[in-house]
Amino acid sequence: MSAHGTLVAFFIPGNLDNPLNGTHGHWSTPARRRKAWRENTKAAYLASPRMATAPWTPKRVTLVANVWNRMDSDGLQAACKSVRDGLVDCGLIDDDGPDSGHVFLYEQRVARAQRGVTVSVETL
């Protein structure tokens, strides 16, 4: 593995929703959806082959969303927030804030047959 090698890559199946477009209904529906994305992120990470690394080591995290229709950039980041939080939950990164040293990149593609998020994590 090179100095800038991939530590882990995995896929989390599911439908992403843009929470900025508003929801109609009870507050528990989006809360349940966010919790499921966090738990599914942790499960996918733990089931994947990976290289050991300290959570505070700076990383480049690329999130590629397979979506039904393209989202605008702020909606894409908002839709992927629970995935980022799941990466903290599983201990891959220590924090997802701006001072953490981690870099987050977002991409999307229309892939209606296999919706979800591919996470790739590399050392910086």
Tens-place pLDDT, residues 53-67: 899 999 999 999 999
Report the alpha-carbon distance of residue 31 to residue 59 in Å, rounded. 28
Find out whether 121 and 60 touch, Cβ atoms under 8 Å: yes
Q: Provide the 10 A C-beta neighbour count for residue 79.
A: 24
Q: Cα angle vertex 1, ends 13, 10, to 5°?
A: 5
For residue 23, name the pLDDT band (cuts at 50, 70, 90).
low
Predicted local distance difference test score (pLDDT) of residue 66: 98
Give the contacts of 23 (CB within 8 A, at least 6 positions apart).
29, 30
Token pair of 114, please? 């296999």
**Per-residue pLDDT tens over the stretch 62-103:** 999 999 999 999 999 999 999 999 999 999 999 999 999 999
- How far is residue 104's CA from residue 43's CA, in Å, rounded to a whole number? 20
Distance in angstroms between the alpha carbons of the first and the last residue of the chain: 13
Please state the pTM of the whole predicted model. Answer: 0.90
